[in-house]
């Protein structure tokens, strides 16, 4: 499946849509303004909450929790390393995703158990204000999309502080 997200035209206090490869709205993301830490609700077009994302504000490195059905489902962590920038999508069991690449350029991949399962790229779209993700069938689209939004927020916050 291919999805499209507009590049940095949103903040956590705003809402926006995620589109499919045909340009149709598929998900609505609603940000919570005026809260301690970032919070957002990931919803389908019938306004059912599919995931809720909150920032862990007392963490050394950026860390976000993804809740599904009111239960902690996964954590997104920015990892520290000398050689490259990496995020981890930590889900229960041995199913963690490693996210690596150029986050500022929207050119990165998700791998799980040594296999590439999603590719994020601006090259998927011919116009400059969007980037896309191609997700392998059978993967958890919601978790991957939520992680992409977290990564965008972390990169945006980093750029704002510079």
**3-state SS track over 88-154:** EEECCCCCCEEEEEECCCCEEEEEECCEEEEEEECCCCCCCCEEEEEECCCCCHHHHHHHHHHHHHH
- One DSSP character per residue, 23-47 reads S-EEEEEEE--SSSS-EEEEEETT-
Q: What is the pLDDT of residue 95?
A: 85
| pLDDT at 72 > cutoff 80 | yes
Q: What is the mean pLDDT of the segment spanning 133-141?
A: 94
- Residues 34, 28, 97, 2: is their CA dihedral positive or negative? negative
Task: Give the residue extent of every domain in the chain.
Answer: 2-161
Q: What is the pLDDT of residue 34?
A: 44
Greater confidence (120 vs 6) lies with: 120
Structure-token pair, residue 67: 């809740």
Distance CA 102, CA 28 (A): 26
Would you say 126 and 74 are in contact if contact means Cβ atoms under 8 Å apart?
A: no
| pLDDT at 162 > cutoff 50 | no
Q: What is the pLDDT of residue 71?
A: 93
Structure-token pair, residue 72: 């902690």
CATH T-level fold of 2-161? Porin (2.40.160)
Q: Each residue of 84-118: pLDDT tens digit?
A: 678 899 998 888 999 999 888 888 999 999 999 99
Greater confidence (16 vs 127) lies with: 16
Q: Each residue of 18-69: pLDDT tens digit?
A: 999 888 999 998 876 445 556 788 999 999 999 999 887 766 667 899 999 9
Greater confidence (84 vs 79) lies with: 79
Q: What is the pLDDT of residue 59?
A: 61
For residue 8, name the pLDDT band (cuts at 50, 70, 90).
low
Structure-token pair, residue 39: 């919070």
Would you say 106 and 122 are in contact if contact means Cβ atoms under 8 Å apart?
A: yes
Structure-token pair, residue 155: 């990169």
């Amino acid at each position: 499946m291919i999805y499209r997200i507009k590049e940095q035209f949103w903040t956590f206090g705003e809402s926006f849509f995620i589109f499919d490869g045909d340009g149709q709205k598929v998900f609505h993301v609603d940000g919570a303004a005026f809260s301690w830490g970032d919070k957002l609700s990931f919803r389908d077009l019938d306004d059912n909450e599919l995931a809720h994302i909150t920032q862990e504000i007392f963490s050394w490195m950026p860390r976000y929790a993804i809740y599904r059905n009111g239960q902690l489902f996964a954590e997104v962590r920015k990892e520290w390393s000398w050689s490259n920038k990496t995020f981890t999508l930590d889900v229960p069991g041995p199913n963690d995703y490693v996210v690596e690449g150029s986050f500022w350029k929207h050119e990165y991949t998700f791998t799980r158990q040594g296999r590439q399962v999603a590719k994020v790229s601006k090259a998927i779209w011919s116009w400059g204000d969007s980037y896309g993700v191609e997700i392998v069938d059978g993967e958890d689209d919601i978790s991957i999309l939520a992680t992409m939004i977290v990564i965008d927020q972390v990169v945006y916050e980093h750029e704002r502080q510079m």
